[in-house]
Amino acid sequence: MQNTAPLAGITVVAMEQAISAPMCTRVLSDFGARVIKVENPKGGDFARDYDDVVNGPNGLAAHFVWANRGKESITLDLKSPAGIDILHRLLDRADALVSNLAPGALARMQLAASDLRARHPNVIPVEIDGYGPGGPISHKRAYDLLVQAESGTCAATGYPGMPAKPGPPVADVSTGLYAALSIMALLIARERHGAGTAPGVAVSLFDTMTDIMGYQLTYTQHSGIDQEPLGMSSPAVAPYGSFPTRDGQTVVLGTTNDREWQRLAREIIDRPDLADDPRYRSNSQRCAHRDTLNAAIESWCAQHDLDFIQHKADEAGIGNSRYNRPSEVIAHPQLQARDRWRQVDTPKGPISALLPPPVIEGFEQPMGAVPGLGEHTDALLTELGFDAAGIAQLREQGAIGPSYSAMTH
């Protein structure tokens, strides 16, 4: 196990809430960056209060513990001159500032990219917003569902006439990943080409989701057709979908090319007549007749148990999976066998959390603790040169939050 994390020595200040920016900084923390999370003394990141199911009753919020491990929390009243001064002192030591506050909030605090360029030229300013500046809806608040609807993602999910939001917050998470990737790219550029004024980075949820909608937008742009969503299937390939099994399970089978279709028809469902039928020779033809093919596969799956179907599919080299609920994924043997769970500390006691996806030889992500609101305020202020009397004065002025106690958080 190597001693130095890839981002060791990098400090990120985060003015963040909900999911998109916290996911960006959590990824950076996973790679070893120090993340200082600046929170409002009056409640902090509002994702702290989404629910209380983690180590409850009166526990922590599931979204928050997922997106905020490995960070230090400091409470600052950024409407006070002293709070802003402390923030700038943190930025004096930082490499990046990540924020996803409401539109215009940074500019009102004189913390926009142009302001930072003058006072903190080496800090990479990354602002995550909803729709990007300069457009007719740039001023609007943007949450995951709203952006997924605006970007067409919901229209590509669900069933005909029954659009749906994908369960995970895809817009938030994907935007956070793009933001983290941007910071890493600029850190590499700084290392290779020398320090200079850091360029500002703006990543919007809407731009991210229209990029992710690339296939659907390209198809419609060139065909004039808005494809209908097909639930657990795809309008792009056929046959490809989920089918009930004899033992009450659901198997997902997919073909992505003509060779796989031939193997599925001949070696799995024993329908050489379908394999030989010229009406199903190409993928586009199979898409046009997907109902007929799905009915044949569904009939065969209904006569066999899941294990048998998956064994046959594996032998034939056909992609397949079992439809799982979250409760079944938690106990998934693939996660157990590969030792993917780790213990993470929280103010309410330890929890189990999954390791981040990248498996890097010689390095394991630190999986630091989930911070309580303002837990690191005093330690950070001491690091900045404040003594006990100075910290007490800041607290009396309301520039920082109350003294932290794990028992009350």
What's residue 198's pLDDT?
Answer: 78
Between CA 15 and CA 335 the distance in angstroms is 33
Between CA 3 and CA 70 the distance in angstroms is 17
Between CA 225 and CA 361 the distance in angstroms is 46
Between CA 87 and CA 38 the distance in angstroms is 8
Phi, psi of 182 (to 5 degrees): -65, -45
What's residue 3's pLDDT?
Answer: 54
Would you state the structure tokens that stand for residue 20, as one six-digit string?
A: 């998109």
Q: Is 349 left (phi over 0), alpha (psi -120 to 50) or beta?
A: left
pLDDT band, residue 407 (cuts 50/70/90) = very low
Query: Is a pLDDT exceeding 70 seen at residue 87?
Result: yes
DSSP helix/strand/coil, 20: helix
Query: Is a pLDDT exceeding 80 seen at residue 342?
Result: yes
pLDDT band, residue 356 (cuts 50/70/90) = very high
Q: Which residue has the tokens 């979908």?
A: 241
Between CA 355 and CA 52 the distance in angstroms is 23
CA dihedral 272, 273, 274, 280 (to 10 degrees): 120
pTM (2 decimals)?
0.92
Q: 337: which residues sit within 8 A by CB, 6+ positions away?
A: none
pLDDT band, residue 406 (cuts 50/70/90) = low
Pairing verdict, β 11-15 and 96-99: parallel
- Gyration radius (Cα) of the chain, Å: 26
What's residue 1's pLDDT?
Answer: 43
What does the pLDDT average to over 267-273? 97
Between CA 53 and CA 28 the distance in angstroms is 26
- Average pLDDT of the chain, as a whole number: 94
What does the pLDDT average to over 300-319? 97
Convert the pLDDT of each residue in 6-57 to its tens digit.
Answer: 999 999 999 999 999 999 999 999 999 999 999 999 999 999 999 999 988 8
Phi, psi of 313 (to 5 degrees): -65, -40
Whether the ω angle into residue 239 lies within 30 degrees of 0, i.e. cis, is: yes
Between CA 298 and CA 107 the distance in angstroms is 57
Whether the ω angle into residue 57 lies within 30 degrees of 0, i.e. cis, is: yes
Query: Is a pLDDT exceeding 90 seen at residue 102?
Result: no
Would you state the structure tokens that stand for residue 318, as one six-digit string?
A: 């056909």
Q: Would you say 409 and 373 are in contact if contact means Cβ atoms under 8 Å apart?
A: yes
Q: 136: which residues sit within 8 A by CB, 6+ positions away?
A: none
Between CA 290 and CA 297 the distance in angstroms is 10
